[in-house]
Chain A
Amino acid sequence: MSVLGLRLEKRPSPSPALRALAPVATAVLALAASGVLIRAAGGDPFEAMAAIGVGAFGNLQNFGETMVKAAALILVGLGMIVAFRTQVANIGGEGQIIMGAIAGTWLGLTLIDVHPAVLFALVILISFAAGAFWGAIAGWLKARLQLNEVIVTIMLNYLAIYTLNWLVRGPMRAPGLAGGFPQSEALAQAAWWPRLAGTRMHVGVLLALALAILVTVFLTKTPWGYRLRAVGANAQAARYGGILVGRTILLAMVISGGLAGIAGAGEIYGLHHRLLDGISSGYGYTGIVVALLGKLNPYATVLAGIFFAALAVGMEAMQRSLGTPFALIASIQGLVVLMMLLADVLVEYRIRKA
């Protein structure tokens, strides 16, 4: 009774090697697919791949660009790990990044005479809190009213986008000269996150790597992490085991949103130094892809984040030199998600004729 005459038969003992190789194979296939698409666009795939490589890693400056993008993707991706491990689908990274950025900018523009190190810590805190709050709305509604978190987080994304859009054109708009653009006043230079000389690589990169370790410890070594994983594995069983499922879901969304909020702070304090429209450019969605390719493992997610950042930065460079479209990157992300799913099925199941 199947449509394509195919049937899935569970493998009695799926190979652990294959399981580990699946994401790597997916990444390689994604590159191959990009080659095919570049060919279709009339480019030379090998030349293009070389251009992507050089664009992403060719010199210190390019490497810095890649790592800056990677930092944002890793932070969002880490948050996604926490949510998805709890079986909560946080599609709201975009909104959480924006709220973190708004709160962080507001603080920096308000507290002027504070030591930069103190401000750094306060910005991280308030951006985490703002992202966490935005995530918590969806978490609370799911925990209390069983509202579908996918729908709620997507709605919250648009609410955040329009809030930002309004703020930079209204209450937070820079007066005078800079007022020609919809953006806030610039932050005081002392508040900018330090960069590696000659690059735009800022301290947020280190922060992302440190948080990858922290999230790993949190998930594997703390009772909270255990509860998150227990709810994710089987909410019913976790409830019988005495775990407060609702509170655990809320916690997952708080952490998930908070990490995205920090990514928002990084975009402001590390890159733009002021609040402007479109600061997130899809990181909220790409972060999900990154976490999935990283198999919801923090360290693998760091690698997946660098992979996607390199692809994006390299393709931007390639677009300048070869004129092949940047729209490719979103297509590749979609392909990666679908190929990842397919690879998982192939590892766990045999596909048989029905």
Chain B
Amino acid sequence: MDWSQFLEEAFLVSLLAGALRLSTPIILAGLGEVYAERSGVLNLGVEGVMLMGAFASFWGTTVTGSAWLGLLIGMLAGAAMGALMAFFTVTLKVDQVISGMGIYLLGGGMSSFLYRIAYGVRMLPPSIEGLSGLTIPVLSDLPIIGPVLFQHDALVYIALILVPVLGFILSRTTLGLKIRAVGENPEAADTLGINVDATRYLCVILGGVLGALGGAYISIAHLKIFADNMTVGRGFIAVAIVYFGKWRPFMTFVGALVFGSAYALQLWIQASGAPIPHQLLLMLPYALTIVILAVVARQARGPAALTRPFRRGEG
């Protein structure tokens, strides 16, 4: 093989643009998980939420004929899954790891089940036009940066905009302060008059909506089909990169990019017929996550009240 093509602009551009596309669902779901965890709720069920989002938005698109309405329906499904998770962990105060497993299994199963109810068992899956590309004028004409950053569909831009927005809200606003207080010390937050339960509900539901958006991106924007289990673990990766990103939106975004780049590179290696087994490359991000977690373990400290339910009067 010719390694010099690595340095060619066209190759680099397509690799980077692909990396961004493949990162997008993880960015969205990861940001949502940052909020849920900062409020004290570990939602392990993101994978199931994403699958429900992927199905609901796909179904919504075929029914309404509009990808945007489909997206809205997907977000509603994500909000419902988030509310269910919040009901168990915040209202019923049960084990978050086990509730998360339940949400994962339920979302994964129901998305496949509902798909078959909606479309029957077909040889050819229904196809949709999906979310179309949105090339940003002027900016997209910039060399390299243009095609890498500004020739995508709307969800990619939304994800990129959400990174600073959600980062700003979390670290610079009263709402962000409340969320962090609830996740660090719910008893103190309660004493200060912050509604701990409502704040957690809000964050877990937001996490559900963003997870569903991530799933929707895969079904109606990227692949334009729905398939069983089509998120193939991206929801779990989203949970992992939150640790990787030390519960901060920007670093979580960086973690998502690492995963997306590895996927993109792996796809390219597979296509190029290079003598490296592509599976080894696919393993890289997972192995890297463990290594990085081990390296930063001593400094990485999650929200103090993560996975701890809040009961008034039980400090």
User: Are A and B associated in one complex?
Assistant: yes
Measured CB to CB, the residues of A under 8 A from B are: 1-4, 6, 8, 37, 40-42, 89, 91, 137, 141, 145-148, 150-152, 154-156, 158-159, 162-163, 165-166, 169-170, 285, 288-289, 292, 323, 325, 327-335, 337-338, 341-342, 344-345
Please state if B99 and A341 are interface contacts (CB–CB under 8 Å): yes
Closest residue on chain A to residue B44 by CB atoms? A150
B87 to chain A, nearest CB (A): 8
Cα A145 to Cα B243 in complex, Å, equals 14
Cα A331 to Cα B106 in complex, Å, equals 5
B293 CB within 8 Å of chain A: yes
- Residues B65-87 near A (CB distance < 8 A): 84, 86-87
Among B2-10, B13-21, B142-150, B194-202, the one that faces the other chain is B194-202
Assuming the A-B contacts A327-B109, A329-B109, are A2 and B197 also in contact, with contact meaning beta carbons closer than 8 angstroms in the complex?
yes
Assuming the A-B contacts A91-B101, A333-B109, are A8 and B195 also in contact, with contact meaning beta carbons closer than 8 angstroms in the complex?
no
Given contacts A169-B279, A341-B95, 15 further A-B contacts (CB under 8 A): A1-B196, A37-B113, A40-B117, A137-B290, A141-B293, A154-B236, A155-B286, A158-B282, A289-B105, A327-B112, A327-B116, A330-B105, A331-B109, A334-B110, A345-B94
Classify the secondary structure of B's interface with A: helix
Please state if B105 and A333 are interface contacts (CB–CB under 8 Å): yes
B11 CB within 8 Å of chain A: no
Please state if A145 and B112 are interface contacts (CB–CB under 8 Å): no
Specify which of A6, A41, A158, A166 is in contact with B91 (CB 8 Å cutoff). Answer: A6
The 19 sampled A-B contact pairs (Cβ below 8 Å) are A1-B196, A1-B197, A4-B91, A8-B92, A37-B113, A91-B44, A150-B97, A158-B282, A159-B286, A169-B279, A289-B101, A325-B113, A327-B115, A327-B116, A328-B113, A330-B113, A338-B99, A338-B102, A342-B92
Please state if B92 and A334 are interface contacts (CB–CB under 8 Å): no
B280 CB within 8 Å of chain A: yes
Classify the secondary structure of A's interface with B: helix
Note all chain A residues with C-beta closer than 8 A to B243: 148, 151
Closest residue on chain A to residue B48 by CB atoms? A334
Cα A165 to Cα B280 in complex, Å, equals 10
Assuming the A-B contacts A155-B286, A162-B279, are A335 and B113 also in contact, with contact meaning beta carbons closer than 8 angstroms in the complex?
no
Please state if A147 and B297 are interface contacts (CB–CB under 8 Å): yes
Note all chain A residues with C-beta closer than 8 A to B135: none
Cα A2 to Cα B103 in complex, Å, equals 22
Assuming the A-B contacts A155-B240, A330-B108, A337-B105, are A141 and B294 also in contact, with contact meaning beta carbons closer than 8 angstroms in the complex?
yes
B98 CB within 8 Å of chain A: yes
Cα A37 to Cα B110 in complex, Å, equals 10
Please state if B112 and A146 are interface contacts (CB–CB under 8 Å): no
Please state if B195 and A1 are interface contacts (CB–CB under 8 Å): yes
A23 to chain B, nearest CB (A): 14
Please state if B240 and A154 are interface contacts (CB–CB under 8 Å): yes
Please state if A3 and B109 are interface contacts (CB–CB under 8 Å): no
Closest residue on chain A to residue B235 by CB atoms? A154
B112 to chain A, nearest CB (A): 3
A353 to chain B, nearest CB (A): 13
Cα A207 to Cα B99 in complex, Å, equals 31
Specify which of B97, B198, B240, B280 is in contact with A3 (CB 8 Å cutoff). Answer: B198
Cα A169 to Cα B312 in complex, Å, equals 56
B292 to chain A, nearest CB (A): 11
B239 CB within 8 Å of chain A: yes
Note all chain B residues with C-beta closer than 8 A to A325: 112-113, 116-117, 121
Please state if A288 and B283 are interface contacts (CB–CB under 8 Å): no
Note all chain B residues with C-beta closer than 8 A to A341: 88, 92, 94-95, 98-99, 102
Note all chain B residues with C-beta closer than 8 A to A170: 277
Please state if B91 and A337 are interface contacts (CB–CB under 8 Å): no
Please state if B109 and A338 are interface contacts (CB–CB under 8 Å): no
Please state if B289 and A334 are interface contacts (CB–CB under 8 Å): no
Note all chain A residues with C-beta closer than 8 A to B90: 3
Assuming the A-B contacts A40-B117, A334-B103, are A2 and B283 also in contact, with contact meaning beta carbons closer than 8 angstroms in the complex?
no
Note all chain B residues with C-beta closer than 8 A to A6: 91
Note all chain B residues with C-beta closer than 8 A to A289: 101, 105
Assuming the A-B contacts A3-B91, A162-B283, are A331 and B113 also in contact, with contact meaning beta carbons closer than 8 angstroms in the complex?
yes
B153 CB within 8 Å of chain A: no
Please state if B279 and A151 are interface contacts (CB–CB under 8 Å): no
Closest residue on chain B to residue A171 by CB atoms? B277
A337 to chain B, nearest CB (A): 3
Closest residue on chain B to residue A345 by CB atoms? B92
Cα A137 to Cα B287 in complex, Å, equals 12
A279 to chain B, nearest CB (A): 16
Cα A334 to Cα B115 in complex, Å, equals 17
Note all chain A residues with C-beta closer than 8 A to B294: 141, 145, 147
- Residues B228-245 near A (CB distance < 8 A): 228, 233, 236, 239-240, 243
Cα A334 to Cα B48 in complex, Å, equals 10
Note all chain A residues with C-beta closer than 8 A to B103: 334, 338
Closest residue on chain B to residue A329 by CB atoms? B109
Note all chain A residues with C-beta closer than 8 A to B233: 154, 158
Cα A19 to Cα B39 in complex, Å, equals 32
Cα A8 to Cα B312 in complex, Å, equals 11
Cα A216 to Cα B107 in complex, Å, equals 34
Top-9 shortest CB links A-B: A334-B106, A330-B109, A331-B109, A337-B102, A334-B105, A327-B112, A166-B279, A145-B297, A327-B113
Cα A156 to Cα B94 in complex, Å, equals 26
- Residues B294-315 near A (CB distance < 8 A): 294, 297-298, 311-312
B227 to chain A, nearest CB (A): 12
B190 CB within 8 Å of chain A: yes
Cα A137 to Cα B240 in complex, Å, equals 16
Cα A266 to Cα B108 in complex, Å, equals 27
Assuming the A-B contacts A1-B312, A40-B117, are A155 and B94 also in contact, with contact meaning beta carbons closer than 8 angstroms in the complex?
no
Please state if A158 and B116 are interface contacts (CB–CB under 8 Å): no
Please state if B113 and A2 are interface contacts (CB–CB under 8 Å): no
Closest residue on chain B to residue A138 by CB atoms? B290
